[in-house]
Structure 1
Amino acid sequence: MREVFESVDSGVIYIVPNFISEGYFCQQVLPRELRLTGPTTQRDGRTIFYCDPVGIHPNMTRLLLQRADEVAPGVPRGETSLIIVGHGTNLNDNSTKAIQEQVRLIRDGGYGFAEVVDAYMEEAPLVSDWVNMTTAAHVVVVPFFIADGLHSFQDIPVLLGMEKEPGKALSEMEVFRQNPIAMHGRQLYYSSAIGTEPLMAEVILDQVHDFDTKHGIQDSVRTAASSEVLKTGLERWIQEGRDVIGEVHFAADASGFTLRHLADVGVSLADLTAYEGAVAAREIARCDEAGAFRAIKTAATLRRGWIVRVMDVSELLLALEFFYPAAVGMALAEERGALEPVPLRSLLGRQTGMYRFANGITDAQAGEIIGGFCAGESKCLRRIVFKLDAVQPLGGSAELKLGPQAGQVPGMDAARCVPLLCMEACNHIVSVARKVSRENNDAKAKG
C-alpha cells in the first residue's frame, strides 16, 4: 500500500477504503500502512484526506434494495424475507455495525419486506440458521461483501445448504444462476456480493463529497496543482531511448504509442490482437497464457499475442500503470533519491494477528526466503531496494535480486529499461516468514 503514493502526481489525495465496515483494517491497518495521522495528513507537500469506508454510507441501502429486487424479480416484498450476510469477527466490535445499521434502515424505512435480518458466517446469528430466523415464503440472501470470492462462491452456499461441500474455482458463477432454489418449503434467492453493484462507484464519490462537507473542505482545494513528475519523467525516458519495462515494449508511432509483449517485437501486426485505449492493459495483465489469475503482476508470466494503441503520453502512463502498478513512479523516485524503502525487519515487526510470529526468522533465513521466492526468472522481475534492517543489506541468495542485473528481463540492455523495483516485501514473503518462524519455534520446543 505504501507504493501507491508513487503512482500519483496530485497534491491532494482522497483515500476511500473499499471496505464494508470501519473495523480493524480501516481503524488500524490502513492508517498504519498508509502513514496517516488522522482524517487529514500533510506529508511531502501533499494533503491526504482519509474518508469513511464505503460500506457505512447511507446510500448502501439503495444498493441493497436494488440488488434484492434484481435477484428476485416480480416477487412481492411483503412475501419476502431479506437476509443481509456478513462475516462476523471478534477482532473489532465495529465489524458488524454496518450490517446492523442497514437492517435497521430497511426495517424502519417502510420498504415493505416481511422481515429483514442480519446473519453472519462466524458469529450469531448464524446464516446457517436461516430457516429458523425467517418465516416468509421467499427468502433473499445478499452477501454484504465488497467482492465475490471464497465466501460468496463457496462458504455461504454451503452454510445455506445450497451446496454440500465447497465448489469449483472462483471463476465459477453458476451458484448465482440457480435462483430460485426450493428448500425447506421456501423459495431461496441468492445474490452475488453487494460490492459488485456498478453503483458502488457512486458511493465512493459520495464518501468524498461527505468528507468535504463534514470537514469544511472547499472545492478550490481539489484544484491544487499537479507536479506532473510522472508524465514529464516518462517523456524524458522516451527521449533517452528507454522503451522497455518488465515484459512490455512501448514505442511512438504516427497516432500516439503502441505497447506489446517484448517477445512480440517483430511479430507481424496481422498475428496480434489489437486493442484501443489504456484500459485494455488491465485485462491483458489479469491472466497468464493458461488463463490463471496473475496475483504477482511483476512475474514473468505476461501473456503474448496483443498490441495496445494509446493516444498520448498520459494514456501510455496509465497503460503502464495497469501492467505494472506504481512501477514508473518508484523508478522515478529512486532516480531522484526520494524513494523510501521499508526494511524487512520493520515490515515483519509490525505484523499482528496470525502473522505476529513472522519476525522470528534468522538473518540467513531472510536471505534464502527472498532469494528463493523472488527468483527473477521464475517468480518476480523486481529489483529489491529494501534492506534487512536500517543498515544491514540482505545476504545469501537474495543478493541476486539486489544488483543492476535485477529489475528487468534477463539479458536486456539496462539502458533501455525502466527498472521494476520492490520497496517493501510483499505479503507472500510475510506468509513464508511466518511459516519458517513457527518451524523455528517448534524446533526450539523439541530441542
Structure 2
Amino acid sequence: MKALVIVGHGSHLNGDSSLPVYEHARRIREEFPEEYDEVVECFWKEEPSMRHVLNTIESEEVYVVPAFISEGYFTQQVIPRELGLDGEVTHRGGKTIRYAGPLGTFDLMADVILERTADLMRDKSPEPGETELVLLGHGTDMNKNSSGVIYLNAERIRERGGYDEIGVGFLDQEPEIKGVVEASDAANLIVLPVFIADGWHTRETIPEDLGLTGEVTRLPGDAGETEKTVFYGAPVGTHPSMAGLIAARARALAPEGSGSSGDSGNSQEREPFASGVS
C-alpha cells in the first residue's frame, strides 16, 4: 500500500490557512485514485498534527510532501523533527518514508504561476504599453533560501518569454514590493503573491501598502492621470493545478523501477536538513 502525506503550516488565527491543503488532497484523491491508497493531511499549527500522522497510516510506502514554497526552517528542521525523519528516506516501523523538498523549487511551479496569471488576466483589458509580471514573496533576512526560490521561478518564467519584464518583490526584505511597484515604468503590472494560502497579508497588508482596491487598480500619477494599472492575483498556492504539482512532487521520489510514471519535473538540488530528532 502507498500513502501520500501533505504537510501544511496551519494557523490558530486564520482558519483559511489550511483550506488549500484539504482542497488539493481532495483533488488528488479524485484525479489520481490509482496512485495512492491513502491521502492524508497534517499540520504544524492545527490538528491533525504532523507529530502523530504516521501512526494513523496503514501503508508501508509513504511519500511526504511539504506544502511550503521555500526551503527553510520548517522544511529542514521542524517537519523532519516532528515526523522523526533521518533524511530523504527513512525506514521505521515497517514503513519506508520518502521526504520531498518544498513545492517552489520544483520545475512545475513555474507552470502553476503562469496558469494563475492567465486566470487573473482572462477578460481583462490592459492599458497600451509594457506589461511586467512581479512575483511577490514573503522573504526574510534570516534565511536566504526564502527569497532564492522566488528568483528561481522568475528566471524560469523569464526564459519562457511572454512578458516585457519579470520583477521580484518581498514583504520582509529588499527589494520591498511597494518600491518595486513604484519604480516600475511598465503601463501594466501583474502582482502575483507566491504564497501557499490566502490570509492577512494577501487580503489586508499587501493591498493597503500598494493602494489596491481590488483585482484591477489604476494608480494615479503626479498630474492625476493614470500612471500604471496593477492587476493583483490570488495566491499561487490556492490554484487548482497545485494538486497536480503535489502529486508530481511525490512521484519524483519514487525509486526507479517502482512503476510510477508521468512528468515528474526536475527539482532544485536541496540543501541537507538537520533532523533534530529528540
The TM-score, its normalising length taken from structure 1, stands at: 0.44
CA distances 1:365-400 after superposition (whole Å, capped 9, x unpaired) = xxxxxxxxxxxxxxxxxxxxxxxxxxxxxxxxxxxx
| 2:60–2:95 Cα contact (<8 Å) kept | yes
- Aligned AA (1:207): R
Q: Shift in Å at residue 65 of structure 1?
A: 1.3
What is the aligned partner in structure 1 of residue 153 from structure 2? 102
Q: Shift in Å at residue 114 of structure 1?
A: 1.4
Q: Which runs of 5+ in 2 are unaligned?
A: 1-49, 221-226, 261-275
d(CA) in 1 for partners of 2:257 and 2:196? 28
What is the aligned partner in structure 2 of residue 219 from structure 1? 259
| 2:137–2:169 Cα contact (<8 Å) kept | yes
What is the aligned partner in structure 2 of residue 26 from structure 1? 75
Q: Shift in Å at residue 75 of structure 1?
A: 4.8
- Aligned AA (1:92): N
What is the aligned partner in structure 2 of residue 93 from structure 1? 144
What is the aligned partner in structure 2 of residue 138 from structure 1? 188
Equivalent of 2:250, from 188, 203, 208? 208
- Counterpart secondary structure, 2:98: strand
d(CA) in 2 for partners of 1:151 and 1:204? 24
Matched, 1:183 2:232: no
- Counterpart secondary structure, 2:91: strand
| 1:24–1:91 Cα contact (<8 Å) kept | no
CA distances 1:192-249 after superposition (whole Å, capped 9, x unpaired) = 100000000000011112222xx536238xxxxxxxxxxxxxxxxxxxxxxxxxxxxx
d(CA) in 2 for partners of 1:5 and 1:186? 51
- Counterpart secondary structure, 1:189: strand
Q: Shift in Å at residue 32 of structure 1?
A: 1.0
Q: Which runs of 5+ in 1 are unaligned?
A: 163-174, 221-349, 351-447
What is the aligned partner in structure 1 of residue 273 from structure 2? none
| 2:135–2:168 Cα contact (<8 Å) kept | yes
Equivalent of 1:49, from 98, 105, 108? 98
- Counterpart secondary structure, 1:88: coil
d(CA) in 2 for partners of 1:42 and 1:131? 49
Equivalent of 1:123, from 170, 173, 178? 173
d(CA) in 1 for partners of 2:113 and 2:168? 13
d(CA) in 2 for partners of 1:108 and 1:78? 21
Equivalent of 2:238, from 178, 185, 196? 196
- Aligned AA (1:202): G
Q: 1:81 to 1:50 in 2, by over 3 A?
A: same
- Aligned AA (1:146): I
- Aligned AA (2:147): T
d(CA) in 1 for partners of 2:51 and 2:257? 25
Trace 1:62-101 onto structure 2 (pairs within 5 A): 62-73=111-122, 74-75=124-125, 79-101=130-152
Q: Shift in Å at residue 182 of structure 1?
A: 0.8
The TM-score, its normalising length taken from structure 2, stands at: 0.69
d(CA) in 2 for partners of 1:43 and 1:32? 14
Whose helix proportion is higher, 1 or 2?
Answer: 1
| 1:82–1:115 Cα contact (<8 Å) kept | yes
What is the aligned partner in structure 1 of residue 209 from structure 2? 159
CA distances 1:299-348 after superposition (whole Å, capped 9, x unpaired) = xxxxxxxxxxxxxxxxxxxxxxxxxxxxxxxxxxxxxxxxxxxxxxxxxx
| 1:63–1:194 Cα contact (<8 Å) kept | yes
- Counterpart secondary structure, 1:16: strand
d(CA) in 2 for partners of 1:195 and 1:51? 17
Trace 1:272-421 onto structure 2 (pairs within 5 A): none
Q: 1:206 to 1:133 in 2, by over 3 A?
A: farther
- Counterpart secondary structure, 2:66: coil
What is the aligned partner in structure 2 of residue 17 from structure 1? 66
- Aligned AA (1:87): H
Q: 1:217 to 1:91 in 2, by over 3 A?
A: farther
| 1:130–1:160 Cα contact (<8 Å) kept | no
d(CA) in 1 for partners of 2:247 and 2:160? 24
- Aligned AA (1:219): G
Larger radius of gyration: 1
d(CA) in 2 for partners of 1:217 and 1:15? 20
- Counterpart secondary structure, 1:98: helix
d(CA) in 2 for partners of 1:95 and 1:130? 18
d(CA) in 2 for partners of 1:131 and 1:51? 34
Q: 1:135 to 1:217 in 2, by over 3 A?
A: farther
CA distances 1:345-364 after superposition (whole Å, capped 9, x unpaired) = xxxxx8xxxxxxxxxxxxxx
Q: Shift in Å at residue 78 of structure 1?
A: 7.1
- Counterpart secondary structure, 1:118: strand
Q: 1:133 to 1:7 in 2, by over 3 A?
A: farther
| 2:141–2:172 Cα contact (<8 Å) kept | no
Q: Shift in Å at residue 79 of structure 1?
A: 2.8
